[in-house]
Amino acid sequence: MATERAALNPIAVIVHLVAIAAGVYLGITAIAAISPDLPSESSQPGVQASAVGDQVAADDPNSLLQPGPLAISLNSVDDQLAAGKSLSHVHITPSEITTETTDTGGFDVADVDNSAPLRLANLIAQQRKDVDGLGDVQFVDVRLDSDGNPQWYVQLVLDIDPPRTYTAPLGALSVTPGG
């Protein structure tokens, strides 16, 4: 008795291989479409207060110069900071925080006091009668000085008579004109 073997149909094999290839391709395409875009390695941590727009007054309750919004934003910057990186410059405007990072010799986000912009603006207002506190601040920076120590840098709005810049070491209770 001879056993007969059924012939293998090549069309069925080809259809299955095409279906597998199409499934893999469509799966990769779908995953790429729904996965979030990660920032590039060269991007710096930062925050933008897009919910309130670009025209935020410095003394507005939603301003990033205010202690509450600044604390929340600094936590976000800390979450974005890559392992082993420290900050070399933090630029804070009423609507945005931008940063520059370094591998060595910088400072931590925890070193940036969220109440400092308001405190520094009030210290400047105590020295100058033409400054009304936080409402006259254009931006505040924390940057490294020539010795590599972090310090505050306050820039007043341009319609204020000079001096328009002030500096103070972190944690300081006084400001110095110039910068």
What number is the average pLDDT over the span 121-126?
92
Q: How many domains does the chain have?
A: 1
Query: Is 3 within the bounds of a domain?
Result: no
Residue 52 has pLDDT above 80, yes or no: no
Phi, psi of 76 (to 5 degrees): -65, -40
| Mean pLDDT score, 113-123 | 92
Average the pLDDT over 91-107 and give the result.
88
Question: Would residue 37 count as lying in a domain?
Answer: no
Only one residue has tokens 């974005």, namely 80
- The listed range with the strongest mean pLDDT (82-86, 117-121, 167-171) is 117-121
Indicate the pLDDT class of residue 142, thresholds 50, 70 and 90. Answer: very high
Mean pLDDT of 33-44: 65
Q: Is position 115 within any domain? A: yes
Does 2 reside within a domain?
Answer: no
- Is residue 96 domain-resident? yes
DSSP at 112? S
Segment 119-139 mean pLDDT = 91
Domain of 160, in residue numbers: 46-177
Mean pLDDT of the chain: 84
Q: Which of 152, 140, 150 is nearest to 176 (CA)?
A: 152
Residue 25 lies in a domain: no
Answer yes or no: is 52 within a domain.
yes
Q: Is the pLDDT of residue 113 over 60?
A: yes
Residue 88 has pLDDT above 70, yes or no: yes
* 72 domain-assigned: yes
Buried b (16+ CB within 10 A) or exposed e, 118-133: bbbbebbbeebeebeb
